């Protein structure tokens, strides 16, 4: 049997400005740390390379923050270092997140030559007023120029991120956004409903009445129309918020959704590796300091940059895999799930399935368990019922 896919995520936390809706681990005004941070990434990778021996890396994803703020030569050094330390498949998907305004054809040509073969551009909106409300520092014209630069730079696998359900957004404005995205002929589109994350400036503005909260009913209407329009445009709807041209599904994200293991490198990165979940310290300067400490002692009892370490029990692994798998439109293959986790899925989750089925949220079709269209709109209600019982104290 072929080995399971295995991914590496590289977190680059630097941004030009922090957006009001964003709760990612990102920082503006820390560009001076980029050189030492790149060195720390490779030092951390070296700490894990032996433990990952025998695994073939099928995807590498550089996320952020704004990874494209890092000079191309440094990006090449990081990617070359990973290839030297890990067994990376020759056809591995190597993705870079980027913001419009931080991209030019020459920079992208250098990245393409270094081995990056997939680009994900954080457009978010093609409406300048909406971009301003999101604190984005690019314009719609910048986004279109970034796509042209990506094509000129040799990228043939391109994703665009957009957000719908913004305060004050109408159906007509969202339709215009999506049509402008489709006109650029990307291979992949990630389309997310705006969510309000606790602790963000946007959440505080809404709480104080300075901004309008998203309209959940309108978001549902926008999502249903989006599904119809994307099908008309020839895209496969393969995950709740993701659509792809045939052959262009995001292989790295499928590692997560199919509950395979992955290693996260960088400040605030998360991992699921050797049956253990863990993350790293959030602050970039502290991350650099602690990784340098671990590298100096070859990691022996000094990997203090690791936090939230949690060995995953069989019960938690089965629950996680089911929840993540139900995000996929095809759902979960019941027989394969039972074999993989050594459980009877109906014996373990039958009560939750029956309750969700009564509400029209899940269905079983030819041995696959999946969310209904209504279930995708209310997926959090389904997932809450599938969480493992909390451990007794």
Per-residue pLDDT tens for 137-180? 899 999 999 999 999 999 999 999 999 999 889 999 999 999 99
Number of domains in the chain: 2
CA proximity to 66, closest of 45, 28, 97: 97
Lowest mean pLDDT among 102-106, 108-112, 239-243, 362-366: 102-106
- For position 114, what pLDDT does the model report? 97
Question: What pairs with residue 182 in β-bridges?
Answer: none
Q: State whether 225 and 326 are in the same domain.
A: no
Please report which confidence band the pLDDT of residue 338 belongs to, taking 50, 70 and 90 as the band edges. Answer: very high
Question: Does one domain contain both 206 and 334?
Answer: no
Q: How far does CA 176 lie from the centroid of its chain? A: 25
Q: What is the pLDDT of residue 247?
A: 97
Query: Which domain, by its residues, includes 334?
Result: 314-386
The label of the residue with tokens 């099908």 reads 231
Averaged pLDDT for residues 52-77: 93
Q: Mean pLDDT lowest for which of 64-68, 191-195, 343-347? A: 64-68
- The answer to the question of residue 362 being in a domain is yes
Closest CA to 32 of 284, 264, 218, 270: 284
Instruction: State residue 206's pLDDT score.
Output: 75
Choice between 2 and 208, residue whose per-residue pLDDT is larger: 208
CATH number for the domain that contains residue 124: 3.20.20.70
- 43 and 146 belong to one structural domain: yes
Residue 201's pLDDT band, with cuts at 50, 70 and 90, is confident
For residue 8, the model assigns a pLDDT of 98
Assess whether pLDDT exceeds 60 at residue 1: no
CATH no. for residue 360? 1.10.10.920
Measure the CA angle with vertex 111, ends 109 and 113; round to 5°: 70
| Domain co-membership, 172 together with 252 | yes
- Picking from 49, 21, 3, 65, the residue whose alpha carbon sits closest to that of residue 268 is 65
Tell me whether residue 292 is in a domain.
no
Q: Give the pLDDT score at 229.
A: 98
Pair (68, 183) in one structural domain? yes
Is 288 part of any domain? no
- Of 221, 236, 257, the last residue of a domain is 257
Does 253 share its domain with 109?
Answer: yes
As a three-state string, the secondary structure of the chain is CCCCCCEEEEEECEECCCCCCCCCCCEECCHHHHHHHHHHHHHHHHHHHCCCCCCEEEEEEEEECCHHHCCHHHHHHHHHHHHHHCEEEEEEEEEEEECCCCCCHHHHHHHHHHCCCEEEEEEECCCHHHHHHCCCCCCHHHHHHHHHHHHHCCCCCEEEEEEECCCCCCHHHHHHHHHHHHHCCCCEEEEEECCCCCCCHHHHHHHCCCCCCCCHHHHHHHHHHHHHHHHHCCCEEEECCEEECCCCCCHHHHHHHCCCCEEEECCCCEEEECCEEEEECCCHHHHHHHHHHHHHCCCCCCCCCEEEEEECCHHHHHHHHHHHHCCECCCEEHHHHHHHHCCCHHHHHHHHHHHHHHCCCEEEECCEEEECHHHHHCHHHHHHHHCCCCCCC
Average pLDDT of the chain, as a whole number: 93
Has residue 170 been placed in a domain?
yes
Query: In the prediction, which pLDDT does 2 show?
Result: 65
Q: Is residue 225 part of a domain?
A: yes
List pLDDT tens digits, range 67-115. 988 999 999 999 999 999 999 999 999 999 999 987 889 999 999 999 9
Considering the domain architecture, whether residues 201 and 108 belong to the same structural domain is answered as yes
In a domain, 21, yes or no: yes
Number of Cβ atoms within 10 Å of the Cβ of 136? 23
> Among 73-77, 180-184, 211-215, 233-237, where is mean pLDDT lowest?
211-215
In a domain, 45, yes or no: yes
Whether 118 shows a pLDDT value over 90: the answer reads yes
Q: Is the pLDDT of residue 20 over 90?
A: no
pLDDT of residue 18: 65
Least confident of 268-272, 295-299, 363-367: 295-299
Do 323 and 222 belong together in one domain?
A: no
Average pLDDT over residues 212-232: 94
Q: Where does a domain end: 231, 257, 283?
A: 257
* 282 within a domain of the structure (yes/no): no
Q: Of 209, 226, 257, which marks where a domain is finished?
A: 257
Q: Does residue 46 sit in the same domain as residue 146? A: yes
Question: Does one domain contain both 345 and 224?
Answer: no
CA distance 92 to 117: 9
In this prediction, residue 392 carries a pLDDT of 46
Both 365 and 243 in a single domain? no
Q: Are residues 103 and 204 in the same domain?
A: yes
């Amino acid at each position: 049997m072929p080995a399971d896919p295995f991914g590496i995520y590289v977190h680059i936390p630097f941004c030009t400005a922090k957006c009001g809706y964003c709760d990612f681990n990102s920082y503006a005004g820390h560009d001076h740390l980029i050189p030492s941070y790149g060195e720390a990434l490779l030092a951390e990778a070296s700490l894990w390379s032996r433990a990952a021996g025998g695994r073939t890396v099928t995807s590498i994803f550089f996320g952020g923050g704004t990874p494209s703020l890092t000079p191309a030569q440094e990006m090449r050094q990081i990617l070359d270092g990973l290839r030297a330390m890990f067994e990376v498949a020759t056809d591995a998907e190597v993705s870079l997140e980027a913001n419009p305004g931080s991209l030019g054809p020459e920079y992208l040509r250098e990245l393409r030559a270094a081995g990056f073969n997939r680009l994900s551009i954080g457009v978010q909106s093609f409406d300048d007023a909406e971009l301003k409300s999101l604190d984005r520092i690019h314009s719609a014209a910048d986004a279109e120029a970034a796509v042209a630069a990506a094509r000129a730079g040799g990228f043939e696998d391109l994703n665009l991120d957009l957000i719908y359900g913004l305060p004050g957004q109408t159906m007509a404005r969202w339709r215009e956004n999506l049509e402008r995205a489709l006109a650029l002929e990307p291979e992949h589109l990630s389309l997310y409903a705006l969510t309000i994350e606790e602790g963000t400036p946007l959440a505080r503005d809404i709480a104080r009445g300075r901004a309008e909260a998203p309209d959940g009913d309108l978001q549902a209407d926008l999502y249903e129309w989006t599904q119809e329009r994307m099908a008309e445009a020839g895209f496969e709807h393969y995950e709740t918020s993701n659509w792809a041209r045939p052959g262009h599904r995001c292989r790295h994200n499928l590692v997560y959704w199919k509950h395979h293991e992955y290693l996260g490198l960088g400040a605030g990165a998360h991992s699921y590796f050797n049956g253990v979940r863990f993350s790293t310290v959030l602050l970039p300067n502290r991350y650099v300091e602690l990784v340098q400490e671990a590298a100096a002692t070859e990691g022996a009892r000094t990997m203090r940059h690791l936090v939230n370490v949690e060995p995953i029990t069989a019960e938690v692994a089965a629950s996680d895999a089911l929840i993540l798998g139900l995000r996929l439109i095809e759902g979960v293959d019941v027989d394969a799930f039972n074999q993989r986790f050594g459980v009877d899925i109906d014996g373990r989750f039958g009560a939750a399935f029956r309750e969700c089925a009564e509400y029209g949220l899940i269905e079983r079709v030819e041995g696959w368990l999946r969310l209904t269209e209504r279930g995708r709109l209310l997926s959090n209600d389904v997932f809450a019922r599938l969480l493992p019982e909390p451990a007794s104290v």
